[in-house]
Amino acid sequence: MTEAAPPATSGPRRGRRLTGAQRRQQLLDLALELFAEHGFDGTTVRDIATAAKVTDGLIYRYFESKEALLAEVVGQARERIQLVRAVNLDQPVEHIMRDLLTAFAQGVRDNLTLVELLRLEFRRPAAARPLANLHEEVLVTLAGLFDSLIERGAIAPHDTACAARLVAALAYGFAAIHRNLDDDQWAVALEQFCPFCVGVILYGTASGDASACPIAAPQT
């Protein structure tokens, strides 16, 4: 990092005068961005300060240490993030599944910096627990969803914990594989991939039944 700073256009002498809360949040946001982009070790306190147009010392008025800053970033991330959203269950199972997968993948995408941060720093104590919690929560939510669907007779009974893992793996993996796409490419990939997955998940690939899937016809 640390690309030569622009020669300070001597305009409003620096990003001065914010209230404590504002500055604090600004630093947290920038830190999240940078940590996710370059990793914790790859980001210097000065990088964050520079991004906020502020001197490095100031950071320590708000956070005890760089490590503490990370902890707060992760903590906030954890509160803010919600990967699996409520899905309207009163619709055909195909739509349910498609909505679920799309929303999940989109959730990962929308919180990509958070997810990347957690993924990169998962071994650091500050990040390990929140990550584990988040993960657990996702699996439980998904399993609950499948239980509901089975109860309603929408899908055949099966090991819902396993299914939750399958869907989570799919969504994580998909987001990971496509992390470098820009927003437009991503949207296209998502619209193609999710229905395809729904088709497979619901009707399998063995027979031609997948063609029975009403939401898509992903033939080559």
Partner DNA sequence: TATGAATGAGACTTCATTCAT
Partner DNA sequence: CATGAATGAAGTCTCATTCAT
Is residue 199 within 8 A of residue 218, CB to CB? The reply is: yes
Exactly one of 28, 163, 186, 190 binds its own copies (CB under 8 A); that residue is 163
Our CA dihedral for 64, 70, 71, 74, rounded to 10 degrees, sits at 150
Exactly one of 125, 144, 173, 214 binds its own copies (CB under 8 A); that residue is 173
Nearer to DNA, 1 or 140 (CB): 1
Interacting positions 48-107 with its own copies (CB under 8 A) = 61-62, 64, 93
Residues 6+ apart with CB under 8 A from 204: 210
163: part of which helix (H) or strand (E)? helix 160-177
Query: Which phi and psi (to 5°) does residue 120 adopt?
Result: -75, -40
Partner from its own copies, DNA, none contacting 2, C-beta within 5 to 8 A by type: DNA
Neighbours of 64 (CB within 10 A): 11
Amino acid identity at 16:
R
How far is Cα 100 from Cα 215, in angstroms, rounded to an integer? 14
Partner from DNA, its own copies, none contacting 16, C-beta within 5 to 8 A by type: DNA
12 lines the binding site for its own copies (CB under 8 A)? no
Residues that bind DNA (CB under 7 A): 1-2, 7-8, 10, 13-20, 23, 43-46, 53-61, 64-67
**For 210, which DSSP code?**
G
Q: Min. distance of Cβ 13 from DNA in angstroms?
A: 7
Amino acid identity at 4:
A
Site string for its own copies, 29-48 (x = CB under 8 A): --------xxx-xx------
48: Cα separation from own chain's centroid: 22
Partner from its own copies, DNA, none contacting 159, C-beta within 5 to 8 A by type: its own copies
Is residue 73 within 8 A of residue 28, CB to CB? The reply is: yes
Structure tokens, 122: 């998962």
Exactly one of 70, 81, 170, 190 binds its own copies (CB under 8 A); that residue is 170
Partner from DNA, its own copies, none contacting 169, C-beta within 5 to 8 A by type: its own copies
Q: Which residues contact its own copies by CB under 8 A?
A: 4-5, 7-8, 20, 24, 37-39, 41-42, 61-62, 64, 93, 119-120, 123, 135, 155-163, 165-166, 168-174, 176-177, 192-193, 196-197, 199-211, 218-220
